[in-house]
Amino acid sequence: MMKKFWIASGLMLLFINFEASAAQISPGSWRFTLQTTHAQIPFVVDFKYKNKKLTGILRNGKESIPLTDIKYEKKEISIPLQTYELSLELTQQDKNTLIGHLVRHNKNPIKKTPIVGLFGPKTRFDEPKEKPSINLTGKWSLVMEDEQNQKSPGLGMFKQKGNKFSGSILTPTGDYRYLDGFVEGNRFRAASFDGVYNYTLEGSLKDGTMAAALLSSSKTKISGNLDLKAALPDPYKLTELKELSFILPDLKGQSVSLNHPKFKNKPVIVQFFGSWCPNCMDEMNYLIYWYNQNSKRGVEIIALAFERSLSPEDATRQLQKVSKKMKVPYTILQAGSTAEDKPAEKIKGLKNFISFPTTIFLNKKHQVVKVHAGFNGPSTGEYYKKWIKEFNDTVEGLLK
């Protein structure tokens, strides 16, 4: 009798374990669709189980974003998005279907945008049925018009191979990061999703003129033409600062200024950034790499953080998370905690501050040598390489 009991118990445990395993979402490619006011924005996540834990890779054009620290309990899945105050909060309908929201935790009330995920598709879009009749490859001079009818310049850097289309859009304040999609006939559609820069680019080309729109929770109209000489305003002539002075807390609450012994007789690079800003984080990735290679040469970096958290305490925790996860080797100071904190109000003499990030180069006497507004990141190809060269040339000059 006892033997039968143990056999029955073992079979029951085996059945329970099988049921638990069968209930897990399917590993492999999933296509998610973010449902915004003006667009349905698709992106692909590749899920797998590592040591029985769910992990993933978010594929955003040429960019692969690791998804770690995923919480998966019963049918609820919480996926933090990089270092942002964002997450995907999903409920499992079955092993091949997820529904939920993209959640912005730094909003009051919390902002939720609906999202649906389906197992199977390996690409952002379905394969187009019609061959392309246009070629978007090249440099485009763009005019961008927002919902308030305010116009600003843009520069498109696009590549097309057959039906496939990729690239980025640059502006005086920064780039729109990675986008990819397809061309069908004289029409095109592409998308980007990293949690913050989430949009589709949809349009057509007729007689060499582009008519398009960036679509998300807002709509930006775009018109333009191929132009090999297309250029944006000089980023070194947009924001002005004659001298820089501050006393701000570090992440341990200690007050720090440029008079600190750590910075004495050293050139200092000061980055105005926010952890909510993808362009800032792209620049920070390079600055971390650069500092690890060059700090022994007698150069320092200070990141002045302007957060968009709900409180100073939340901002501190967010910056501590960023510092730990990204292994930031240089000084981070908390200059602002909420969206109400403006750089021009915190830094005396700062004029026409238009963009996060903005980078200030100080010589060994801590005099302002250059101010660079905005940032063209890795998605911009030759423009990113140009920025790297200018950055290194400037620092070499400061070290002389």
pLDDT at 281: 98
The three-class DSSP label of residue 142 is strand
The confidence band for 4, taking pLDDT boundaries of 50, 70 and 90, is very low
Q: Mean pLDDT, to the nearest integer, of 285-311?
A: 98
Q: Mean pLDDT, to the nearest integer, of 275-282?
A: 98
**Percent of all residues in the chain with a pLDDT value above 90, rounded to a whole number:** 94
The confidence band for 193, taking pLDDT boundaries of 50, 70 and 90, is very high
**Residues in Cβ contact with 271 at an 8 Å cutoff, skipping those fewer than 6 apart:** 280, 283, 284, 287, 301, 302, 303, 304, 357, 358, 359, 360
The confidence band for 328, taking pLDDT boundaries of 50, 70 and 90, is very high
Greater model confidence, 11 or 120: 120
pLDDT tens, position by position, 246-274:
999 999 999 999 999 999 999 999 999 99
The three-class DSSP label of residue 266 is coil
Q: Is 373 exposed, middle or buried (0-12, 13-18, 19+ CB in 10 A)?
A: buried
- Domains detected in the chain: 2-119 (2.40.128.120), 138-226 (2.40.128.120), 235-399 (3.40.30.10)
Contact in structure between 170 and 374 (CB atoms under 8 Å): no
pLDDT at 84 over 70: yes
Q: What is the mean pLDDT of the chain?
A: 94
Q: Mean pLDDT, to the nearest integer, of 310-320?
A: 97
Strands 300-306 vs 331-336: parallel, antiparallel or unpaired: parallel
pLDDT at 399: 96
pLDDT at 149: 98
The confidence band for 25, taking pLDDT boundaries of 50, 70 and 90, is very high
pLDDT tens, position by position, 101-114:
999 999 999 999 99
For residue 307, the tally of other CB atoms under 10 A from its CB is 27
pLDDT at 382: 96
pLDDT at 12 over 70: no
Q: Mean pLDDT, to the nearest integer, of 71-98?
A: 96
In the structure encoding, which two tokens stand for residue 283, read together? 């620049």
Q: Mean pLDDT, to the nearest integer, of 351-380?
A: 98
pLDDT at 6 over 50: no
pLDDT at 8: 42
Q: Omega into 357 within 30° of 0, i.e. cis?
A: yes
Q: Which of 3-12, 52-61, 298-307 has the lowest mean pLDDT?
A: 3-12
pLDDT at 19 over 80: no
pLDDT at 15: 38
Beta-bridge partner residues of 42: 33
pLDDT at 293: 98
Alpha-carbon distance of 340 to 185, in angstroms, equals 46
Contact in structure between 339 and 348 (CB atoms under 8 Å): no
pLDDT at 2: 42
pLDDT tens, position by position, 200-228:
999 999 999 999 999 999 999 999 999 99
Helix pair angle (278-294, 312-326), 10° resolution:
50
pLDDT at 321 over 70: yes
The confidence band for 120, taking pLDDT boundaries of 50, 70 and 90, is very high
pLDDT at 21 over 70: no
pLDDT at 337: 97
pLDDT at 389: 98
The confidence band for 13, taking pLDDT boundaries of 50, 70 and 90, is very low
Phi, psi of 18 (to 5 degrees): -65, -40
